[in-house]
Structure 1
């Protein structure tokens, strides 16, 4: 155990403690993904955990809007001097994203298929320097920021896809 962090159970004492592993945490309606680059800090052997849902509704003529509302928690490996708590090694990504499926006809073949619609997101417990370049890394990877533990105002609702998306993430 690493200063209160069990690296075999890194999600303990985080909002992801009871989430399911990987995409098993996403509820998809019967009959019916966010790509993140991982930086130099490697993921732990424990798979990421997810929670959320997909819903569908009609769009304009020939369109179907699929809304994804989900949160992902990633556990990173750490050396004893890099992390003091689960907050230091488990960053979160929360997304509210629409995907638009268009059918040809009425759309031209070039315009048919899947496209990304409106969306927004929230990140927490991240290395801010890395996330600005699209790379996911734990907060201890930021060279200029001290390891600070759980962000101020960090509560379970911020990670709950059934609640409103927070307006400000921990990287500002």
Structure 2
């Protein structure tokens, strides 16, 4: 009997932390104290005064583990699986086709046919929030600065059930946004959005699986957004929070270094109204 893999398509990130710079929720970078000159963002080097300053640029920050046999998967198959997972991370978090154009074709084409079929209707239909834990899409009207996103994290593999290789990914992506029409000085976090994505991918092979279930799937998904527009988050997109119109938000409970650390525990609080 052939097995057909099934996965829930509704995925929401566990937490949303919003960096409160001014002490006045809902007025980030506005009515509070202006940042000192030493803390003002340089839009030519937007990450300079953040924990991501020395991280790798873009896909260079996504490294794969050494190839070795894992369970019934040969070293060559493991290397191919981790390469595919890296390609999926690039397509879902860094490729302008997804980030800017919200075009999921490349990303979905890398997944098993059955999971791609489940996810496709959620794009471009007003249901983007159901896939926001899997991909990064910029809110319409927002733009990234020319600086490449910064990336830090790790990937590891282990044997799964029969015919399965599990690839654990744990990455933080930092995006730098433009700051148009802003008169007051902005601190660096005014234009940075941080996305933590802990996703477990599963490569399935063998005669026990139906043809549409062969290939790459996602299973366990966790993570959060930090210093994000609550308005954009509510729609399933990302944007910097300096122009957020959301009237209230909860101050983050941890220092910002924690939210940049891929090894830190996933915070349980949410800074955006539910």
**TM-score bin, normalised by smaller chain:** 0.7 to 0.9
Structure 2, unpaired ranges of 5+ = 1-36, 67-78, 83-88, 93-134
Taking the aligned partners of 2:183 and 2:252, their CA distance within structure 1 comes to 20
SS at match of 1:13: coil
C-alpha offsets along residues 9-49 of structure 1, whole Å, 9 cap, x if unaligned?
Answer: 10122121111111211221133314211111100011110
Match of 2:226 in 1: 124
Match of 2:136 in 1: 36
Higher mean alpha-carbon deviation, 159-168 vs 53-62, is at 159-168
Match of 1:113 in 2: 215
Higher relative contact order (CA 8 A, sep 6+): 2
In angstroms, what is the RMSD of aligned CA positions? Answer: 2.3
Match of 1:10 in 2: 46
Confirm or deny: 8 A CA contact 2:61 2:150 kept in the other structure: yes
SS at match of 1:36: coil
Q: Which has the higher helix share?
A: 2
Match of 1:76 in 2: 177
Match of 1:89 in 2: 191
Taking the aligned partners of 1:83 and 1:36, their CA distance within structure 2 comes to 27
Q: Which has the higher strand share?
A: 1
Tell me the CA shift for residue 78 of structure 1: 0.8
Taking the aligned partners of 2:43 and 2:156, their CA distance within structure 1 comes to 35
Q: TM-score, normalised by structure 1?
A: 0.88
Confirm or deny: 8 A CA contact 1:82 1:140 kept in the other structure: no
Higher mean alpha-carbon deviation, 96-105 vs 152-161, is at 152-161
Taking the aligned partners of 1:69 and 1:143, their CA distance within structure 2 comes to 31
Q: Does 1:162 align with 2:263?
A: yes
Q: TM-score, normalised by structure 2?
A: 0.57
Taking the aligned partners of 2:184 and 2:136, their CA distance within structure 1 comes to 22
Higher alpha-carbon Rg: 2
Tell me the CA shift for residue 119 of structure 1: 0.9
Confirm or deny: 8 A CA contact 2:195 2:226 kept in the other structure: yes
Mark the CA change 1:6 to 1:96 in structure 2 (over 3 Å): closer, same or farther.
same
Taking the aligned partners of 1:18 and 1:82, their CA distance within structure 2 comes to 27
Structure 1, unpaired ranges of 5+ = none
